[in-house]
Structure 1
Amino acid sequence: MERQRPGPLSFNVTDPNSTVFTKHNNLRVKYKLSVDLARNLKGRTLTNSLKYLQDIINRKDCVKMTRYAKKCGRTAQANNKLINGKKYSDNRGRWPIKPAKLFISLLNTLIKQSEEKSLDPSILKLKHINVNKAPQIQGRMQRAFGRVSASNSHPCHIEIVAQKPTLTVDDLD
């Protein structure tokens, strides 16, 4: 895992004292699965998202596939699930184990940073998760009769920002 810190983020950090972030490049997980997993994680607290990722690994909950969902199987766990406040009536879902384990390690990094800044991880919300395509890693697979086929992998760059929610006037009422 290659890590950049404190490189430029695609998110504007207004209060660095109440914000923790991590940014990793060229991660060897599938880009398309990571995009939909990130969409399901955004807006959750750190502890809630860790529990959700453990449920994905144990197949107690699934990741609702919305963007890259062609040829994706259907499951009752994905039925009428809320993602960032939107309700999707479609019931396509998967259990991406390897991206879930990677996101757990990234969230553990955020928890360590929050403890260094003396912030409570159960309060911090995932404000921004960005998944971008990394350069494709080209591989070759030998086939019968001397043929050669491509066996390419599609890694990704991931950055996560967790922020302490600010109180507004409506919250005080």
Structure 2
Amino acid sequence: MGYTGDFDSERMARAYGKEMKISPRHSVEICNTIRGMHVLGAKDLLEAVMEKREPITFRRYNKCVPHQKTSKGPGRFPVKASKFILGVIESAQANAERSGMDSEDMRIVTAAASKGRVTRGYMPRAHGRWESFDEETTNVEIILEILED
């Protein structure tokens, strides 16, 4: 399990969410939105998305995505992915506190999502047949860095 960014253990904290049952496309859009944000601002944004007050603007996977009133272009409210990514951010904050850093005064340096393992499933149908479906999983990594004064 490797990380995509460089890591300095004295100034940074990290967390990795492995094979979470969320949409890879929604995860990529959320990570592109929160990358570079202050930790508290990113947490507030994800909580607003879960309450359907603030949409995530879709920049890459935006085919047939409707415009929202408060977004600048096509957007959605990926509630489930926001909940899981918020958990990874809180885990990175806990890792920062364990290392003796101030977890409130950090920014998100790396936020990356990639496809995880595909779980195959089968659903029985009529007349002894079945149809298969694939369940996608997503790997999410978050790296936090202390803000310089």
Both proteins in one fold, TM over 0.5: yes
* 1:20-35 correspondence runs (5 A): 20-35=13-28
Q: Distance in 2 between matches of 1:120 and 1:48?
A: 16
Q: Distance in 1 between matches of 2:70 and 2:137?
A: 27
Q: Deviations over 1:140-173 (max 9, x none)?
A: 2334455533321111111110112346xxxxxx
**Which secondary structure state, in structure 2, belongs to the residue aligned with residue 101 of structure 1?**
helix
Do structure 1's residue 16 and structure 2's residue 9 form an aligned pair?
Answer: yes
Do structure 1's residue 65 and structure 2's residue 58 form an aligned pair?
Answer: yes
Q: Deviations over 1:14-67 (max 9, x none)?
A: x31110001122111111110101111101111111111110011110111111
Q: Distance in 2 between matches of 1:108 and 1:159?
A: 12
8 Å contact kept, 1:114–1:120: yes
Query: What percentage of aligned pairs have identical amino acids?
Result: 16
Q: Distance in 2 between matches of 1:22 and 1:106?
A: 6
Corresponding residue of 2:49: 56
The structure whose RCO (Cα within 8 Å, separation 6+) is larger is 2
Unaligned runs of 5+ in 1: 1-6, 80-90, 168-173
Q: Distance in 1 between matches of 2:29 and 2:129?
A: 35
Structure 1 residue ranges, 4+ long, deviating more than 6 angstroms after superposition: none
Alignment equivalent of 2:113, drawn from 117, 131, 136: 131
Do structure 1's residue 112 and structure 2's residue 106 form an aligned pair?
Answer: no
* 1:75-114 correspondence runs (5 A): 75-79=68-72, 91-114=73-96
Q: If the length of structure 1 is used for normalisation, what is the TM-score? A: 0.78
Corresponding residue of 2:123: 141
**What RMSD over aligned residues (CA atoms) do the two structures have, in Å?**
1.7
| Structure ranking higher in strand proportion | 2
Change (3 A) 1:40 1:151: same
- Letter matched to residue 52 of structure 1: L
Do structure 1's residue 156 and structure 2's residue 138 form an aligned pair?
Answer: yes
8 Å contact kept, 1:24–1:157: yes
Q: Deviations over 1:93-137 (max 9, x none)?
A: 111111111111111112212222332233211000121111211
8 Å contact kept, 1:62–1:78: yes
How many residues align? The count is 149
Q: Distance in 1 between matches of 2:144 and 2:61?
A: 25
Q: Distance in 2 between matches of 1:32 and 1:118?
A: 34
